[in-house]
Every structure is written in C-alpha cells, then in structure tokens.
Amino acid sequence: MKFTKITISLLAGLLPWGGKNEGCIPTPETPAPTDAPTAAPSVTSAPSQSSSPIAAPVTLSPTPNCSISGYACLQNSDFGEVDDNTWNMDLQLETLNPDITKDAYITARDKLTSLISSNNLNNPGGEDTSGWTYAEFCESNGAGYPSKLDDIYICGRDAVIDGHGKILGRAGPSRVWSNGLPSAGSMEFDIDDITWLINNGTWETVILHEMAHVLGIGTVWRSNNDVQRIRRGRNISYLYEGPIATNVWQNDWECAGAPPVEADGGGGTAGGHWDDECMDNELMTGYLNGGQANPLSKLTAATLDDLGYSIDYSSSTIDNTYDGSNTSCCNGRRNLRQLNNGKPPLSAKGKANAMAYGKSVLESRKLPTGKQRVKNGLKYVGDKIVTVYYEEYGYIYDVEVTSHEKLL
C-alpha cells in the first residue's frame, strides 16, 4: 500500500501537561495498532429544512457476549433497532472507566441525532451487516455490529497505544453508503491520555469534533468535491465550495467569496477543517480552544447538508450566536510556513511519528485477500483514511493519513 498524503491541523490549544513529553522532543517511533483493548462561487442554494422526527436521547446498556477483562462494554439501549422515520446512530463503547468517559459519547450522539434527520437513502428496514470481518473495532471482541444497520454504527474504545503523550488516539470512517456518506466508523483513545483530556475540560469537545469527522466533515469533503486547492506562487489556499455552506457564509454571515479551509500544516498539506484564523473557536476548526466554548455553528451544520444529510436547522445543537460577527471573513490566503497567532507547527519528528502510526493502522486494517470491498451496497474504506491525534508540548494536532486510493 502506498501512502501519499498527510494533513496536519492543530487541534488543541496549549494546556497544562504532565506527561512524558514535557520539556523534550519526541523521537519517531511506530506504536503497533491494537487488535483488541488491553488493561469561492456565488450561490443561491438555501439550507434544507427538515421536520422529520429526531432520535430520542440515548441510554447505554451492557453489550451481550463481551468478556474483555477489566472493561465495560456498552451500547445504546435500542441498538440494532430500525426506525425509517429518523436518522439513527448505533454506538458501542469499550471502556475501562465508563463513569468518566461515556457521558461525552452520549452527549455527542444526542447532539448529532438532534441535528440530522436523514441521510436521504432509500434503505427501508436497514442493511444487512453479515460478513463485516475486516479488523473493525468492537467486532473482534464479541460485541459485533447490529444485524441491521440504520443509519451509522460507531465504536468508541480505550486502548493501550504508547503511554502519556505523543499518540493520543485515532478515528475515521470504515464503511460508506452508496451515496458516499459514512455508514460505520471508529474512535480510539490511549488510556493513558484520557484523564488528561478530561481534567482539562476538552474531552467532550474532542469526542464531538472527532465524531463529526467520522460522519464525513473533512474526511469526505474532497471526495464530495467540496474543497478547492489554490496555489498563488509559494502560497496555497483551500476554499470550501459546497453550495449550502457557501450560501450560509455569503448570505447569512454576509462574507464574500467562499468559506476558507485551513491551509496550515508545516511540511504537510491541509483541507480538513475550517480555517482557524477566520473562525477562531468554532468546533470544526483544527484548533480546539481549551478553557472556552467551541460552538457548532450553522456553517458546520450546512456542510453536513452539503454532504447529503437532511439537517434540522432549528436544533439546539446549532449555536446561532456564532455567526459572521465571530469571523474575520478572511480569504484564507496564508502561507503554509507559519501557523497564525504563534501556534507552532508540528515538528518534523512529530509528523514522522504520527505518519508512521497512521500507516501502521491502515496496514492493519487492509482488506483481506478474497474479501469483497463492496458488500450489500456498503463499501469498506477502513484501510484508506485515519485521523491520528498527536500531542507535542501540550498542543494537540490532527494528522490525517490516507492511502493513495480515493475514498469513494
């Protein structure tokens, strides 16, 4: 498998750190992925409005047939049930400390199921998941997928990776529907870093941010032709071109041109987050602002609309106090060499570390010989893209690693 692209974004602000990296430069190393947990267009398109029913808030119940020593295995109480009238998310967790970790997943799920009413697919009765045996989280430990998928399955788990600091975790879609929207995905965090994220008040925001990536924000943008890469001499800009979010940018927020996508990343490339210089503390910038709110704006809701979801714009998940007045309406024409506001780029050693780990993850999830990539209308993409979370000097970076193959 050839790896040709890396996206680096700064995900979190400088926060107090007590891990092994304090005061030192990381040395490149490749932690092995675990198989199981151990101890600028002018547009007139308007956002869609949906009055479809939304999923009820989730409660978690023990997962049957899960016998991982020391771990609690949980899933939503209506796991596997099909409701053609709502957009549903089946959620499974494998966690050492459910009392401190599970609420962030529950909150993120409730926010997204309140926001999304449909993925606009005609799949009454759900889709059969038999034969999904490609090193996808939660399955190898007896938990298993729902027998019928409706509309997305996400597994979140604690894992042993590399101790405090450096690799914090990873996430990404593992399957997509025929329209390109993710149908399954996973989120994994190093057990030695979760407490730090919780203590700094960033755990809940990180979970929502990464769950949104699993749903396709940033990860599916390019496949959906929503991002344009522009070179002006030595400078590179990225502009978002999805018509619905661009309509919000231009007509609701009264900003010119197209929404700018982050172009920072040191020696790497970018294109998976809103530009932080323009949108500051918005949830889906590449920089999580510790100690302050990171709202999900109407612009982020609209990019989900562009991807193909039906969005309820009256949902309380959208923070309508965040609008054009919170942005500088800038055009994203910035040099890749230096992150704005003094935010340091990820070092070459840190990038090598994250890239090596991402490559090892994709290799471990490679489609086995003889297995079908497309089964029952669902395409396996677990070996094509992964987002790696990497800590350096108390900052957290989002490093997107993809194979040379297109996602769709």
Whether the per-residue pLDDT at 153 is higher than 60: the answer is yes
- What is the enclosing helix (H) or strand (E) of 305? helix 298-307
What's the whole-model pTM score? Answer: 0.84
Pick from 17-31, 72-86, 96-110, 214-228: least confident: 17-31
State yes or no: cis peptide before 280, omega within 30 of 0: no
Which pLDDT band holds residue 54 (cuts at 50, 70, 90)? low
SS (H, E, C) 171-187: EEEEEECCCCCEEEEEE
More confident residue, 3 or 154: 154
Residue of 289 and 215 predicted with greater confidence: 215
Please, what is the average pLDDT of the chain? 78
**Which positions make up the binding site?**
273
pLDDT for residue 90 is more than 90: yes
Is the pLDDT score of 40 beyond 90? no
Question: Does position 22 have pLDDT exceeding 50, yes or no?
Answer: no
Across the range 123-128, mean pLDDT stands at 67
Q: Give the phi and the psi of residue 254 in degrees, each rounded to 5.
A: 60, 45
> What is the DSSP secondary-structure string of 38-65?
-----------------PPPP-EEEPTT
**In the structure, what pLDDT confidence band is assigned to residue 4 with cuts at 50, 70 and 90?**
very low
- Model confidence over 362-394: pLDDT tens digits? 998 888 888 888 887 788 899 988 888 888 888
Closest CA to 326 of 272, 270, 275, 286: 275
What does the pLDDT look like over 268-302, one tens digit per residue? 336 788 887 788 889 998 777 666 788 999 999 99
Give the annotated binding-site residues for Zn(2+).
273
